[in-house]
A and B are shown apart, each in its own frame.
Chain A
């Protein structure tokens, strides 16, 4: 009986150990998310004055709630709708919505991790997600009442749905693409680029039609709601819409300040043949190139925060470059596994040797 119990206990311990081994990166990611949430809390709790843009979204939320004309009707409405929704229950208090954007940014990180884990392995996913989440502009702007984190969440969620090949997910992608538009108008272009790439790769027009059938009505509804309230629909100030064919080098010149040294690995990823052999990478490549060209084409409005939504694509290519360097079909995960096995076996042989030395002749087999 005692032996049976002992064996049962050993088996259970073994199961627990194998669980931790199998999900060690996932556990590390959960711990990372907890730390990230605490770090956000530390920043947001000392926020005493909303930023200029943040205040405008608060005023627009107040206007939606009280049926008054919008203070700035060219601002995307989704963040103000969410704030108005919260205030309709709690009453108007800006302190209550201070951390709203951070929730969406962390949410974007979780969705990105789940997406990449499925196709690229947990180590790759953790690398890309952690780099994106601790990126300076992504983190700092997410501590404010702004739209960057919200748009990032719906954009990443759109990609998650589009990467699956099921009709119901493509339907949902239509809705999330429209919500990306409502979060931040120009980011719609990035969602559209990803949708086009995935539609071509899927070779199933039925899937694309599913997305369009869901996305177009939601888009029309968003525009209609604003038009009915304001009598007009504007997506930006006229001074910000001028586009130049002569591309600005702003984002390349400031790339290290925006994304850090990992940006230097992006060109390396793009020169590897292996990058183009995996179709999964295509939407990330197009996402990066389209966004960079679009924001660089602006004739006068360049800002670090405009790079936030395609930061996952930048870090995806950086990590891909590392994987390409390791190359020869070995993924980062399998390389780590092979190194781990090698170290384990080495440790075993060292143990065996020390056993011989300790017990002298008794150790001989």
Chain B
């Protein structure tokens, strides 16, 4: 029987199979451990584990009349579901500057703007970044009045009202 074992160990394909099995085991565990870093939305800074987010959305938007649409810069579905307001994201070339944002909102009769400020920016949409950057938020004060602000574990939520509508 010893001879049989030795004969088997001498065959290269058993060693190859052993290497392949080790590769699969180590590779699968390593890949699982690394997957959070490869997948957006699951990292340590993701808002899915934010204890305060939903309550913050509810608190921030409770002063807005129910029939008003919220213009939001991110997390549109979450804000819609938990605030119970209609929401609209200003994108697809319609809004590229603060001026066009004001015009677009006026044309559609929207008065309220919710900026979700997270990871150093107020939006993930490239064309909206100049308006909703840290600097852009300060500039918003010319056309908008900040009427609410709340912080969560992962974000800062800011509620603005268009000045023309005050």
Contact = CB atoms under 8 A, between A and B. Distances in A.
Does A associate with B in a complex? yes
Interface stretch (B18-26, B63-71, B95-103, B138-146): B18-26
Interface in A230-257: 256-257
Given A135-B32, A325-B13, A261 B24 contact: yes
Contacts of B41: 51
B133 interface: no
B105 interface: no
A contacts with B: majority SS: helix
B35 A137 contact: yes
Given A136-B32, A137-B35, A342 B5 contact: yes
Interface residues of A, number: 49
B39 A342 contact: no
Contact of B38 (A53, A58, A257, A261): A257
B23 A264 contact: yes
Contact of A346 (B2, B20, B31, B75): B2
Contacts of B17: 322, 325-326
B20 A48 contact: no
B28 A48 contact: no
A92 B30 CA distance: 39
B49 A47 contact: yes
A298 B87 CA distance: 29
A52 B77 contact: yes
Nearest to A305: B39
A252 to B, nearest CB: 15
Among B13, B41, B47, B81, residue most surrounded by chain A Cβ atoms (within 10 Å): B81
B147 interface: no
A56 B77 contact: yes
A20 B127 CA distance: 63
A139 B31 CA distance: 12
A52 B75 contact: yes
A47 B54 CA distance: 12
A261 B26 contact: yes
A322 B21 contact: yes
Contacts of A71: 77, 80
Contacts of B51: 48
A136 B146 CA distance: 41
Interface string A69-99: 0010000000000000000000000100000
A318 interface: yes
A59 B81 contact: yes
Contact of B78 (A50, A257, A321, A322): A50
Among B1, B5, B28, B39, residue most surrounded by chain A Cβ atoms (within 10 Å): B28
B contacts with A: majority SS: helix
B78 A131 contact: no
B54 A49 contact: yes
Interface in A43-66: 46-53, 55-56, 58-59, 62
A51 B48 contact: yes
B27 interface: yes
Contacts of B94: none
Given A48-B53, A136-B32, A346-B2, A326 B48 contact: no
A265 interface: yes
A140 interface: yes
A131 B39 CA distance: 18
A134 interface: yes
Given A49-B48, A52-B78, A325 B38 contact: no
B24 A322 contact: yes
B77 A59 contact: yes
B96 to A, nearest CB: 19
B79 to A, nearest CB: 9
Interface of A: 46-53, 55-56, 58-59, 62, 71, 94, 127, 130-131, 134-137, 139-141, 144, 256-257, 259-262, 264-265, 268, 304, 318-319, 321-322, 325-327, 339, 342-343, 345-346, 349
Given A49-B47, A140-B39, 4 more contacts: A49-B54, A135-B31, A262-B23, A265-B24
28 contacts: A48-B51, A49-B48, A49-B54, A50-B81, A52-B75, A55-B77, A55-B78, A55-B80, A134-B28, A136-B36, A137-B39, A139-B35, A140-B42, A256-B31, A257-B35, A261-B24, A261-B26, A261-B28, A262-B23, A262-B24, A262-B27, A264-B23, A318-B24, A319-B24, A322-B24, A325-B13, A325-B17, A342-B1
